[in-house]
Amino acid sequence: MKKILVTLALSTLLFSGERDDAIAKMMAEFQASKQAQQKEFTDYKAQLDKEYNNYKKELKTYWKDPKLSTKTEWVSYTKDKKSRSEVDFKDNSYTVEVIAKNLKDATSKLKERISYIVSKNTKEVVQTDPLQKKVAKISHSPDVVTSTVKATPILAPLIFGSKPSKSEVNMYATKTLGNSRITSAKAKDKKERVYKVKVKLPKNTKLRLSAVYQGEVAKNSRKFKLPKELLFAIMQTESDFNPFAKSHIPAFGLMQIVPRSAGRDSYKLIYKKKGMPSATYLYNSTNNIQMGSGYLYILYYRYLRKIKNPKSRLYCTIAAYNTGAGNIAWAFTHKYNMNVAAPKINALTPEQVYDRLLSDLRFDEPKHYLKRVRRRMKVYKVAYKDL
């Protein structure tokens, strides 16, 4: 009996040791994988930053205030960098500026630039915009996923309703210049001047821009079991439907996907393999809406799954898209554990959950974000009730 007991004890110790070794090995592999993914993102971001910084330096040769695209502004330059356009999707306007020696030369260049921004689709922009061409060619590791950008219209639906002919574009540019006030100021090279025109876009811009993406929204709404009005409202709140949106984080495209977090998680969910989407991949509207929808699915059906009331979970999902699931838990418990927070959330009504998020979220940005998305969801629910 003593021999049996000793043998059992030794076996238990041996098994325990093997188990601990296996756990330690798994943890080491996980950490190594995490560090590799972080390095991959860091390397890609460094190359991206280098391209943007170098391009901005080149622009400073000609412009006192070199501008690049933001979340709600699409900025594009000609090859010689002496003409630029800035579409402000939030302000519903666009501005065209050219550096020229005289008004006659400026008028011709202004007309060319107006024609460009009102007629080009996203594929044509990536093929012709100097900076986008550089971004698309950034070298990357095998895990960084890239793709071509599909031909999605940008401003043409607002102005022409459909893809315009060359004569329609020419007529529009001529008429717009004729009805606009051209201002000028000294250029960096004092032998030239900067000529500028600002144009307001048609009314109901947001709804008309959203219509461009209704097919993708309907498809992803069904695939990921999410309200279509949620996808539209997130898109507007993130980028105001700017297909070339870029934030400092960086996040890219319509639904502002961060490659290293939401991008990775969504790509793995959808394709069952590792991959980090590149900037060019996310400037493809099909990819972007799919990635954004996938991340909302992860938040709603995985990270926040223990919240029982669908409406309460929806409010938490909206805020989490902006600030992360951990900060949602913190608003209710001052801890980042959703297992601890879920019972407290489940004890409240949806409106109480909404009010609690607005009062107790750690930062103001997700509070404003939640209010805007909820308000906009009501609009899109009516607008696309038959979608």
Picking from 29-38, 47-56, 63-72, 358-367, which range would have the lowest pLDDT averaged per residue?
29-38
Task: Quickly state the pLDDT bin for 2 (edges 50, 70, 90).
Answer: low
Q: Which residue has the higher pLDDT, 296 or 28?
A: 296
Residue 209 binned pLDDT confidence (cut-offs 50, 70, 90): very high
Task: Check whether 237 has a pLDDT greater than 80.
Answer: yes
| Contact call for residues 255 and 299 (beta carbons, < 8 A) | no
> What dotted CATH number matches 304-387?
1.10.530.10
Phi, psi of 150, rounded to the nearest 5 degrees: -70, 160
Predicted local confidence at residue 277, as pLDDT: 96
Q: Can you give the pLDDT at residue 207?
A: 94
C-alpha to C-alpha distance for 40 and 275, rounded to whole angstroms: 10
Q: What is the pLDDT of residues 329-341, one digit of tens each?
A: 999 999 999 999 9
Specify the domain boundaries for CATH 1.10.530.10 within the chain.
304-387
pLDDT band at 18 (very low <50, low <70, confident <90, very high): low
Of the pLDDT bands very low, low, confident and very high (cuts 50, 70, 90), residue 320 is: very high
Task: List, for residues 107-118, the tens digit of each pLDDT value.
Answer: 999 999 999 999
**Mean of the per-residue pLDDT values of the chain:** 93
